[in-house]
Amino acid sequence: MNTIDELSECMKLLSDKTRLTIMALLKEKEMCVCDIVDILQTTQPNISQHLRKLKLGGLVNETRRSQWIYYSLNIEDKPHLYSIMQQLPSMKEEISAREGIKCD
Amino acid sequence: MNTIDELSECMKLLSDKTRLTIMALLKEKEMCVCDIVDILQTTQPNISQHLRKLKLGGLVNETRRSQWIYYSLNIEDKPHLYSIMQQLPSMKEEISAREGIKCD
DNA sequence: CATTAATATAAACATTCAGTTATATATGAT
DNA sequence: ATCATATATAACTGAATGTTTATATTAATG
């Protein structure tokens, strides 16, 4: 059962534009911090702080692979997030635009 | 199509405990301001300000009936809110507890 | 071991925001 | 008209929050 307190905390995490965009990005695929920094065009500490909040709130997982820390969604057990996540705009363009620059 | 900006604004409206509780109350039935003030045990201006934000955000409708202004949900056209609204805890107890006091 | 790259943390600042208090508006009743 | 009730608005205050700058940590590399 979800309490109002838990649900409002969760909504607060999604109420920030940067964090919601991160969630939209992670919906496409897992990413490391520098991926997100590149795409969102902001500073690394800024993204790190937002990711920390998302992690503390249980909305994302982190897993280290050598120097990189990859973040991914952790929302399977959160039915209250289904429809908002479903309605997030696609980030495919932003991601592929940057893949072009990275020339892989 | 919903933009990140629009969606995050919407999440911000639901990120406050008082506002989210109001939404849960209105899910049960339409209510006037004094109903909500009584149930949430806070001041009338506090509730009025929250209702104004919810109205500006398009989440509730208001309709006047003599002295009373009744508020009701306006979420049919907002699919991103389906699951969060669905997961809100029931407010039936809080509502009926207060109906007892009102001795109707 | 020194250096570089990736990420995290801390401190500081500016802004936003919820709640309160006081006042204004509007409706109905006497 | 006056009064009471319901609601809204405005000004204020304190707390929370996002972003930046600077520094620390961690891992790979030469």
Inter-chain touch A88–B24, beta carbons under 8 Å:
no
Our CA-based measurement puts residue A16 at a distance from the nearest CA of chain B, in whole angstroms, of 6
**Residues forming a β-bridge with B69:** B64
**Distance in angstroms (rounded) separating the CA atoms of residues B68 and A2:** 32
Beta-sheet strand order (sheet of B60-65): B31-32, B68-73, B60-65
Inter-chain touch B8–A2, beta carbons under 8 Å:
no
B102 has pLDDT over 90 = no
CATH code of domain B4-88 = 1.10.10.10
**Distance in angstroms (rounded) separating the CA atoms of residues A15 and A22:** 12
From the CA of A45 to the C1' of D21: give the distance in Å: 10
From the CA of A68 to the C1' of C10: give the distance in Å: 22
Q: Which pairs with CB-CB distance under 8 Å and at least 24 residues apart come from A57-64?
A: A57/A9, A57/A10, A57/A13, A59/A10, A59/A13, A59/A23, A60/A23, A60/A26
**Distance in angstroms (rounded) separating the CA atoms of residues A86 and B39:** 34
pTM: 0.91
DSSP string, B34-75: HHHHHHHTS-HHHHHHHHHHHHHTTSEEEEEETTEEEEEE--
Mean of all residue pLDDT scores within chain B: 93
Task: Enumerate the nucleotides of strand D whose atoms come under 7 Å of any protein CB.
Answer: 5-10, 17-23, 26-28
Tens of pLDDT, residue by residue over A89-102, are: 999 999 998 775 54
Tens of pLDDT, residue by residue over A13-27, are: 999 999 999 999 999
Pairing of strands A31-32, A60-65: unpaired
CATH architecture of A4-89: Orthogonal Bundle (1.10)
Confidence of residue B98 (pLDDT cuts 50, 70, 90): confident
Q: Which residues of B touch A40 (CB under 8 A)?
A: none
Tens of pLDDT, residue by residue over B13-47, are: 999 999 999 999 999 999 999 999 999 999 999 99
What pLDDT does residue B103 have? 34
B5 in contact with chain A, both atoms CB, cutoff 8 A: yes
What pLDDT does residue A86 have? 97
From the CA of A73 to the C1' of C25: give the distance in Å: 50
What pLDDT does residue A100 have? 58
A104 has pLDDT over 80 = no
Q: Which residues of B touch A79 (CB under 8 A)?
A: 83, 86-87
Nucleotide nearest A65, from its CA to each C1': D27
Q: What are phi and psi of A98, to 5 degrees?
A: -80, -30
Question: Any idea how long chain B is?
Answer: 104
Q: Which residue is nearest to nucleotide C17 (CA to C1')?
A: B16
